Amino acid sequence: MESVTTLLDQWYWHGIQATTLFNHTMIISSLLLIFFSVLFYKLNTTTAPKLNLPPSPPKLPIIGNIHQLGTHLHRSLQGLSDKYGPLILIYMGSNSPTLIVSSPEIAREIMKSHDSVFQNRPQVMAADVLFYGCSDVAFSPYGEYWRQMKKICVLELLSLRRVQAFQFLREEEVALMVEEIRRGCKEDGADHVLDLGEMFTTLSNNIGSRSALGRKYEDGNNVSFGDLSKKAMELMGTFNFGDFFPYLRWIDVVTGYNAKVRNTAKAFHALLDQVIDEHQQQSSTDQSDKKDLVDILLQIQKEGQLGINLTRENLKAILLDMFIGGTDTTATTMEWAMAELVKNPSKMKMVQEEVRRVVGNKREVDEADIDQMMYLKCIVKETLRLHAPVMVTRKSWSSVNSKLEGYDIPPKTKVLINAWAIQRDPKLWERPEVFVPERFMNNQVDFKGHHKQFIPFGAGRRGCPGMTFAVVEAEYVLACLLYWFDWRLPPGEKVEDFDMTDVFKPIIRKRMPLRLVPVLHSTC
């Protein structure tokens, strides 16, 4: 027993001595580490020039400026810009800095004059999973692949000729919607209250699905592309730790965020595989104007056009881009337009008189009629000005320093151009918070990226390629609804109490659903 005790004693004291030696070693190592860190910092700060960064609001450790951003991101950023200037630098978590732009001149520099530096888009986890490593057009890094994909979109998928070729299906889908509303108006003689936001979303999804895929698709659980698109938009607008605090991305696994993204992507990709398989099995047709976007992409893939090898994953990423990118924003714009017209009855009366005068005694609205509806076009423009659906995003190259307004912009800086704030700037617009369609009458200012104060679709090489498709759809749908029906609020609701507040999700939507009562026009 004594020998065991002696052995334990020796083991104990040897351990104490070893621990003491270890502690001493750790202390010395730590001191050396601190010394060399300070030395490196001093050398770095003395040799490297100090950057002249844009103004920045005070930030907190770790979270940066996140605490200053509310649910209304566009309004929060406008408030910070009003206080600190039109070009400010904020920090969201431990990610790279984010440049907030609310000046049209600086926005134009970024999107056009300096677009060689700011050619990329920020990439988020949801987009990376949904779009096969961001191999779509919207999120793809700038380079040869992106240039070829953009060329395909501009020349083949979303050209004016292609948009005009889809006229027949827009007319068919809108006719179905109008007929459904007409039936509702005749039922029981009671007020038929419609949720126009939901109706516009369904319509845009149907038009988008038929244009891109050839028909409306659902999976085995009756989940449509529209349902999946809504989920995808919500996920891309949902806060997750991985995008802001990479070292905490494991929390997204615990919360189930990652699983939701991957399940949505899996459902999307399975439906797209079904779509592509069906198109490959169908015999080719010479009716090129009747081809949908899948037909066009498969033809490009088969013929090896533009010298690029398109994989199936590339095809699916581009198709998702076409579908997700256009349907929700177009539906939101139409909802805002109708909301503003209800809020402004005199404007509603003027545009209805124009539409009904142009259409005359015909039994339907023809898309060719829209060219004569100048006030309707002003309605759409003013809606896009007052309710810009999205903020324009860019990201600087990882190895390039740049300058804006005399400030140094570090590499990998994300950029948020607050189009919503620019288009409400009192220095640029008279009565900017008021819905005034007349401001665009006999006015050359448009939304095509040529005018710095009006950029709902962005500008430059990264401008939205689906602009024509979206505007043509919005104008035609609104013309049909204004021709066939008068619109009023549900019983008990007053115009002066009408809720026009918005929310950022990540599209700037109407917070409350737009619920209106259609009344069949007496001469229709």
Residue 337 identity (one-letter amino acid): A
- Whether the ω angle into residue 506 lies within 30 degrees of 0, i.e. cis, is yes
Residue 420: phi and psi, rounded to 5, are -60, -45
Of 463, 149, 473, 154, residue with least CA distance to 316: 149
Q: Which two tokens stand for residue 14?
A: 């040897």
Q: What CA–CA distance (Å, rounded) separates 209 from 440?
A: 33
Cβ contact 467:448 at 8 Å: yes
Residue 120, number of CB atoms within 10 A of its CB: 22
Q: Which two tokens stand for residue 404?
A: 């804006």
Q: What CA–CA distance (Å, rounded) separates 514 from 500?
A: 9
Question: Is 524 known as a binding-site position?
Answer: no
Compute the Cα dihedral for 279, 280, 283, 284 and give only its sign: positive
Pairing of strands 98-101, 414-417: parallel
Residue 98: phi and psi, rounded to 5, are -125, 125
Tell me, what DSSP letter sits at residue 395?
A: E
Q: Which two tokens stand for residue 137?
A: 């057009």
Q: Which two tokens stand for residue 99?
A: 């440049």
- Those residues whose C-beta lies under 8 Å from the C-beta of residue 168, and which sit 6 or more positions away, are none
Tell me, what DSSP letter sits at residue 427?
A: T
Q: What CA–CA distance (Å, rounded) separates 88 from 110?
A: 14
Q: What CA–CA distance (Å, rounded) separates 104 from 458?
A: 11
Q: What CA–CA distance (Å, rounded) separates 256 from 238?
A: 12
Residues in the chain: 524
Buried b (16+ CB within 10 A) or exposed e, 174-192: beebbeebeebbeeeeeeb
DSSP states along 359-377:
HTT-SS--GGGGGG-HHHH
Q: What CA–CA distance (Å, rounded) separates 164 from 290?
A: 11
Residues annotated in a binding site for heme: 464
Residues annotated in a binding site: 464
